[in-house]
Amino acid sequence: MTRVNVNDGSKLKTDDTEPNLSVALVKNNGVPIDLSSYEVSFQMREAGDDTLVVDDDTTGNVSITDSDLGKVEYDWQPGDTATAATHECEFTIDDSSGSVISFPNQGFFTVQIEEGL
């Protein structure tokens, strides 16, 4: 089993682009995933919808901030937080051999976007 420990950026108001979404990708026993040989992707959709609001990876706005500790950040882009809603999210990692692991691999973690004034 895998999980996502969210450190920052999961509660925003509409059109916010800061703080970045900062997480640690870990096994269910709390041991961080060593990301040194993986590409990391981030996907987000409005809960109950099939359309992705965000589909990005380490060639774009996802960065590995500490590969040994499984720490990753997503740099929010204009438009990502335009809709006030609960959003379902996941990170995926894959290596050059085609091995893919989802974080979390059961359900999703959420980003809450609240309507601004």
Q: What is the pLDDT along the chain (117 residues), one digit of tens a residue?
A: 999 999 999 999 999 999 999 999 999 899 999 999 999 999 999 999 999 999 999 999 999 999 999 999 999 999 999 999 999 999 999 988 888 999 999 999 999 999 999
- Which residues have CB under 8 Å from 113's CB, separation 6+? 12, 13, 14, 16, 81, 83, 84, 85, 86, 87
**For residues 96 and 103, what is the distance between their CA atoms, to the nearest angstrom?**
18
Question: Which CATH number goes with the domain that contains 105?
Answer: 2.60.40.1930
Count: domains in the chain: 1
Full-model pTM: 0.95
Range of the domain at 107: 2-114
